[in-house]
């Protein structure tokens, strides 16, 4: 029996190999591909996942059906009434909303918009009554919701992305009225562009620096020239008056930072270390520390008495145009042409945070004198940030130009000055632009020389100074004769949402 198995074994082995080869040839076309999933199984799997993850969303469809049915019932009741109490008011609300909707930016994936308005309703309406307009239903299916228990106005923009309902609530803030500003005085004396301006903490004089390489002192009340400093050999880009010492600090494109004694009226110190032109200066309000920045893309922190360099703040990749300092964290904030804002820890000399929301060069920044916030300006937007984390709060949009300087006073007036000679005044909290001024080049200057390089408010917050390309200094003041009746706020809804760009 064993001999028969031995003789049969080669035959069985060859037969098995033939079967394997034939099977391989049969399924060779499908080799490496997965087994196709059965349609019913796939459908069941998807339905199970949708029910598990989006079970709450299906309620919105049921709500829409119930609202539609409720609308038909209410419409029938309204037709039966002879004089509906709130029909005119509802029609007016819908008409105003349609006008405002045309002004708003249309979002491609948010086609449906709802308006919620609170008003007293008639006896036929319940506490939650939804009234639809037939014309609006045919166009965009928008709803007007009336709730008698509240007295607020809010805009809600929901959108259907597939089966998911996304809602975005925008807060509407009424602008505060501010008196418009008017030109008070034009001061001439420089022989070059007026690149920087600073006001004395005692509000007695102000200082300007120019491309004619001079620093001039002017009487704030009369506008008369009091004194001229010379010493820089290139364009002066920033001046700042110390509130703690009788010192004036200046920086220029000659790579130097100088300290001037205002009691002796002469230069007493200079600070060397920058490898290129110095464009911005900032003094710490409580410490004897000076911060400078320029074309070498670093901020240098100086001890103003010992002339020693404390820190070199590295991190920017382009020219630093603006530096601001405050007593609390972050004590140093810098803005650069690399469109980034960096917040620095002055103790360790390291960057705390980098803000990359801007898409253009950050040429100007300013702290709010009363709030724990600051504003940054670029040609894309003015942005408001909250300290100490640098949280983005809102955009102030509309000044479409290269903004060279911004200033904020204690009355919540924000001013922005641009390279094309435009000067915009804003309400700080709402972002409402209540005045626009286009400066005029002085006689003897060409029309292109109407740019504004610097601006600031004086210590009384009642005067506003600008340094311009036509070699002049302009002084503005508030119009005393203006009232909310003579200069009313335009009937525009100022919206700002927490949009993180």
Residues sharing a CB contact under 8 Å with residue 263, sequence separation 6 or more, in sequence order: 246
Lowest mean pLDDT among 204-208, 377-381, 405-409, 447-451: 447-451
What is the pLDDT averaged over residues 333-348?
95
CATH code of the domain made up of 176-495: 2.130.10.10
Q: What pLDDT shows up at residue 154?
A: 42
What is the pLDDT averaged over residues 63-68?
65
Q: What pLDDT shows up at residue 233?
A: 96
Does residue 3 have a pLDDT over 90? no
What's the pLDDT band for 161 if we cut at 50, 70, 90? very low
What is the pLDDT averaged over residues 353-374?
96
What's the pLDDT band for 381 if we cut at 50, 70, 90? very high
Q: What pLDDT shows up at residue 79?
A: 58
What is the pLDDT averaged over residues 188-207?
96
Strands (E) across 306-421 are located at 308-314, 320-325, 332-336, 341-345, 350-355, 364-367, 373-377, 382-386, 391-396, 403-408, 413-418
**408, two tokens:** 């904020």
Q: What pLDDT shows up at residue 385?
A: 97
User: What gap in Å lies between CA 387 and CA 373, rounded to an integer?
Assistant: 6
Q: What pLDDT shows up at residue 155?
A: 42
**380, two tokens:** 């894309």
User: What gap in Å lies between CA 155 and CA 218, rounded to an integer?
Assistant: 51
Does residue 126 have a pLDDT over 50? no
Share of residues in the chain with pLDDT > 90 (%)? 59
What is the pLDDT averaged over residues 478-496?
78
Count the neighbouring beta carbons within 10 Å of the beta carbon of residue 174: 12
What's the pLDDT band for 34 if we cut at 50, 70, 90? low
Q: What pLDDT shows up at residue 8?
A: 53
Does residue 139 have a pLDDT over 50? no
Strand bridging mode 472-478 / 181-188: antiparallel
């Amino acid at each position: 029996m064993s001999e028969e198995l031995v003789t049969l074994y080669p035959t069985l082995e060859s037969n098995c190999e033939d079967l394997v080869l034939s099977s391989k040839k049969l399924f060779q076309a499908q080799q490496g591909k997965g087994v196709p999933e059965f349609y019913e199984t796939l459908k069941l799997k998807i339905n199970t996942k949708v029910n598990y993850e989006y079970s709450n969303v299906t309620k919105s469809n049921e709500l829409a059906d119930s609202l539609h049915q409720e609308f038909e019932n209410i419409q029938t009741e309204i037709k039966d009434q002879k004089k509906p109490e709130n029909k005119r008011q509802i029609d007016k609300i819908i008409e105003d909303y349609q006008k405002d909707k045309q002004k708003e930016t249309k979002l491609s994936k948010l086609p449906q918009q709802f308006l919620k308005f609170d008003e007293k309703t008639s006896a036929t309406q319940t506490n939650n009554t939804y009234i639809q307009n037939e014309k609006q239903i045919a166009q965009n299916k928008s709803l007007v919701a009336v709730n008698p228990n509240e007295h607020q106005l809010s805009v809600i923009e929901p959108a259907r992305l597939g089966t998911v309902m996304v809602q975005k609530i925008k807060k509407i803030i009424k602008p505060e009225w501010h008196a418009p500003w008017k030109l008070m005085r034009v001061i001439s004396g420089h022989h070059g562009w007026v690149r920087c301006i600073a006001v004395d903490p005692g509000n007695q004089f102000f200082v300007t620096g120019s491309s004619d390489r001079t620093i001039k002192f002017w009487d704030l009340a009369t506008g008369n020239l009091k004194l001229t400093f010379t010493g820089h050999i290139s364009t002066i880009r920033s001046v700042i008056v110390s509130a703690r010492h009788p010192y004036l600090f200046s920086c220029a494109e000659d790579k130097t930072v100088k300290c001037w004694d205002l009691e002796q009226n002469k230069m007493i110190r200079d600070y060397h270390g920058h490898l290129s032109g110095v464009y911005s200066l900032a003094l710490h309000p409580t410490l004897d520390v000076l911060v400078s920045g320029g074309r070498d893309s670093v901020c240098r922190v100086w001890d103003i008495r010992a002339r020693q360099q404390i820190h070199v703040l590295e991190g920017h990749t382009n020219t630093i145009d603006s530096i601001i300092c405050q007593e609390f964290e972050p004590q140093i904030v810098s803005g650069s042409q690399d469109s980034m804002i960096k917040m620095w820890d002055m103790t360790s000399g390291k960057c705390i945070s980098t803000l990359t929301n801007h898409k253009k060069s950050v040429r100007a920044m300013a702290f709010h004198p009363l709030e724990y916030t600051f504003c940054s300006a670029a040609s894309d937007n003015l942005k408001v940030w909250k300290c100490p984390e640098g949280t983005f709060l809102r955009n102030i949009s509309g000044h479409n130009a290269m903004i060279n300087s911004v200033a904020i006073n204690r009355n919540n007036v924000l001013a922005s000055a641009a390279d094309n000679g435009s000067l915009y005044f804003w309400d700080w909290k709402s972002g409402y632009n209540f005045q626009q001024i286009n400066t005029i080049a002085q006689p003897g200057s060409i029309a292109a020389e109407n740019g504004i390089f610097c601006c600031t408010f004086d210590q009384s917050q009642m005067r506003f100074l600008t340094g311009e390309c036509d070699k002049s200094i302009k002084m503005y003041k508030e119009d005393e004769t203006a009232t909310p009746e003579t200069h009313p706020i335009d009937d525009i809804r100022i919206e700002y949402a927490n949009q993180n760009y």
